[in-house]
Amino acid sequence: MTTGTITPYRSTLETGRDGFPQLLRAEWTKFRSVRGWVIGMVIAALVMVLLGLFAAGNGSIGCNSGPGTPTRTGRACVPPIPLGPDGRAVTDSFYFVHQPLTGNGSITARLTSMTGRYGTGGFPGGQGPSLPYRGLQPWSKAGVIIKQSIKPGSAYAAVMLTGSHGVRMQYDYTQDIAGPAGAVSAASPRWLRLTRSGNSITAYESADGTHWARVGAAHLAGLPATVQAGVFVTSPQHTVTTQSIGGRTSSTGGPSLATAVFDRVSLVGARSSGGWAGDNVGAGNSALLGGFRQAGGVFTVRGSGDVAPALPDRVGGSFPSATIEQHLVGAFAGLIVMAVVAAMFITAEYRRGLIRLTLAASPRRSRVLAAKALVIGSVTFVAGLAAAIIAVTIGVRLARAKGFYVFPVTALTEVRVVAGTAALLAVAAVLALAVGVILRRSAAAVAVVTVAIVLPYVLAVASVLPAGAADWLLRLTPAAGFAIQQSLHAYAQVAASYTPTAGYFPLAPWAGFAVLCGYAAAAVGVALLLLRRRDA
């Protein structure tokens, strides 16, 4: 019984490889061998898809032509939405006093007055809106314009004075170049000029008609030889955003009308013999129409509407529309279920003491956490991606079938929104895992993750909070990551309700996602530190 007579045991077992791939495989085996976790992930994906499709299936469009006529639904009710040169939906309604212009040339006008009226939405007597208040809207526009045709959605370039944003050059709906600030009066008129040279249109501005300053230039591809040139006036919906004591934000508004006085209107170039013609471009069945009066070279033009990209939540300019990310609203619910599974992936080990076996098998603890994070992150990503693809594909198809206009997005944006949602879920799962390591209790970990990510998101987008508070929540909390889902673009030159409720996040998509990643990284850091320091 002395060690001298004993031959210590030597294993004849072929030694396996010892590396990170082996650890990954072990953690994957762990995950897939607990049926509840696999089912949990499937449920999370299903919840996401069903909530997303519910959002799409819930909407409907209906209209009634009058008593006794059948109610029509879907596309039949919706006037065609003009599409801009790039194929995106636009708002294109204004009053246009125009003449054809062939080849190169220029249009110049002196703006001597710009005034406005607006109402709060009442239509007394059914005779058209009442406009009891005086004043311009910030983005009321009056100026000179060169446009491909009077067809709504056609290409254009314009230089204009705005209600409170000074002189701007705008073209093709989304482009906006700032010129000098200031307003207009009879004492200090504004000279505005556009010159066409081929497909290039250059905008100028002057105080005296002698000294001209260049505002900007636009290149309008495929502009035909003959275009329409003239003066235009338009004025967007008047909107007031109020916040009640309870914090609820509501917008009210009404139509507005701008009236501009131009003189010294001159069109230089090859023009036809006809005179000036006036058109309500894109007025549709709007009750508020513009018009113009010409007397002794002075044009008095009234117009209402806007020339701008179409946005889903523009008060007054709204039309039945949907965004691709609307079909991903279920992500928050899927996230909760996924966070439960992710937290349990580690807390179940603490609860049973299994963590000791795990760490005895793999004493390099950081690697264990890395392997777990990679496995749960990948599983969540794949489940989230499948759910997002299904929800968006079917949701968009459903919405279109019902007559909704679905805001088009580039392939890159669609990939960012769909894969980004999956990545958002994956990062949240890693965060849940890390919090699980820190707290070692699944209920507590899930509660922390839900309060940190889902609660701020729901509070912000469900318009429970004032818009300002909602914005801050979506900047500072991990819920900022939901910004990755935003496909809509916010335009500085379009007054709209850019709130989380309307689908606009205060941070850019990747910036918001980075905030979430920052939280996850911090949690993983703390988890690593504790995992290495604490006794198992």
Q: Which residues bind another protein (CB under 8 A)?
A: 1, 3, 5-13, 15-19, 22-23, 25-27, 29-30, 33-36, 348-349, 352-354, 356-364, 535-536
Q: How near is the Cβ of 347 to another protein at its closest, in Å?
A: 11
Which burial class, exposed, middle or buried, applies to 445 when counting CB atoms under 10 A from its CB (0-12, 13-18, 19+)?
buried
C-alpha dist (Å) from residue 325 to 54, 83, 395, 450: 13, 21, 10, 21
Cβ proximity to another protein: between 348 and 464 the closer is 348
Cβ proximity to another protein: between 26 and 268 the closer is 26
| Tokens 């699944």, residue located | 442
Cβ proximity to another protein: between 34 and 528 the closer is 34
Q: How near is the Cβ of 355 to another protein at its closest, in Å?
A: 8
CA–CA gap between residue 306 and residue 234 (Å, rounded): 6
Cβ proximity to another protein: between 365 and 475 the closer is 365
Cβ proximity to another protein: between 373 and 496 the closer is 373
Q: What is the 8-class DSSP label of residue 188?
A: S
Label the pairing between strands 321-322 and 405-406.
parallel
Cβ proximity to another protein: between 219 and 364 the closer is 364
CA–CA gap between residue 512 and residue 479 (Å, rounded): 8
Nearest to 197 by CA among 225, 228, 229: 225
Q: How near is the Cβ of 381 to another protein at its closest, in Å?
A: 21
User: Which stretches of 33-120 are DSSP H helices?
Assistant: 35-58
Nearest to 433 by CA among 377, 362, 359, 357: 377
Cβ proximity to another protein: between 358 and 421 the closer is 358
Q: How near is the Cβ of 373 to another protein at its closest, in Å?
A: 16
Cβ proximity to another protein: between 38 and 511 the closer is 38
Q: How near is the Cβ of 357 to another protein at its closest, in Å?
A: 6
Q: How near is the Cβ of 418 to another protein at its closest, in Å?
A: 32
Q: How near is the Cβ of 13 to another protein at its closest, in Å?
A: 4
Q: How near is the Cβ of 440 to another protein at its closest, in Å?
A: 13
Cβ proximity to another protein: between 187 and 360 the closer is 360
**Phi and psi for 53 in degrees, rounded to 5?**
-70, -30
Give 257's strand partners. Answer: 117
Question: What contacts 71, CB < 8 A, 6 or more positions away?
Answer: 62, 63, 64
Q: How near is the Cβ of 439 to another protein at its closest, in Å?
A: 18
Question: What contacts 434, CB < 8 A, 6 or more positions away?
Answer: 369, 373, 520, 523, 524, 526, 527
280: helix, coil or strand? strand
307: helix, coil or strand? strand
Cβ proximity to another protein: between 9 and 79 the closer is 9
| Tokens 């239509």, residue located | 123
Cβ proximity to another protein: between 35 and 134 the closer is 35
Cβ proximity to another protein: between 287 and 361 the closer is 361
Helix (H) or strand (E) run with residue 393 in it = helix 365-401
Q: How near is the Cβ of 432 to another protein at its closest, in Å?
A: 18
CA–CA gap between residue 158 and residue 147 (Å, rounded): 8
Cβ proximity to another protein: between 2 and 244 the closer is 2
| Tokens 């609860």, residue located | 351
Residue 233 CA, distance from chain mean position: 28
Q: How near is the Cβ of 532 to another protein at its closest, in Å?
A: 10
Label the pairing between strands 249-254 and 238-243.
antiparallel
Q: What is the dihedral of CA 176, 180, 185, 187, to 10 degrees?
A: -150
CA–CA gap between residue 469 and residue 492 (Å, rounded): 21
Tokens of 458: 């729901």
CA–CA gap between residue 279 and residue 282 (Å, rounded): 9
| Tokens 């109020």, residue located | 242
CA–CA gap between residue 421 and residue 323 (Å, rounded): 14
Q: How near is the Cβ of 249 to another protein at its closest, in Å?
A: 47
Greatest Cα pair distance in the chain: 126
Q: How near is the Cβ of 445 to another protein at its closest, in Å?
A: 17
